[in-house]
């Protein structure tokens, strides 16, 4: 009887894992751009951690209110830091893209000049 219940639990976990994987694949297939794919992965991790999909977390967090509040503040600080870094990186990438277009245009102009001199 006990083994049957364990097997049923394992089958249910496998089914939830398959459902979660299919949901993540579907979200990633509709996601346009790296940012949306990252968003889909982050939501999947969040939902899995909360036990909404897949295997429930083995050990639930048992935190008192003060500890929980401190962790939330630090999580918001980490998220803010990640956002600021991402914005900086995106600005740098934009500048590098523009710079690469300028370099290619200059190389093309030099090649045309050299070709006309020959």
Q: What is the pLDDT of residues 32-74, one digit of tens each?
A: 677 777 777 777 777 777 766 666 656 567 778 898 888 888 9
Closest residue by Cα to residue 44 from 9, 74, 17: 17
pLDDT value of residue 109: 93
Pairwise CA distance, residues 70 & 74, whole Å: 6
Q: Which residues of 69-82 are buried (b: 16+ CB within 10 A; e: fewer)?
A: eeeeeeeeeeeeee
Q: CA 89, 91, 92, 96: dihedral to nearest 10 degrees?
A: 130
pTM: 0.49
User: Would you state the structure tokens that stand for residue 91, as one six-digit string?
Assistant: 């600005």
């Amino acid at each position: 009887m006990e083994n049957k219940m364990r097997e049923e639990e394992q089958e249910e976990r496998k089914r939830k894992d398959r459902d979660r994987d299919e949901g993540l694949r579907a979200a990633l297939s509709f996601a346009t751009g790296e940012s949306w794919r990252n968003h889909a992965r982050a939501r999947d991790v969040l939902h899995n951690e909360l036990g909404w999909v897949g295997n429930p977390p083995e050990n639930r967090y048992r935190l008192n209110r003060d500890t929980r509040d401190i962790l939330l503040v630090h999580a918001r600080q980490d998220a803010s830091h990640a956002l600021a870094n991402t914005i900086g990186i995106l600005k740098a990438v934009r500048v590098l893209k523009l710079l690469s277009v300028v370099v290619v245009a200059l190389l093309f102009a030099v090649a045309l000049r050299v070709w006309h001199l020959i």
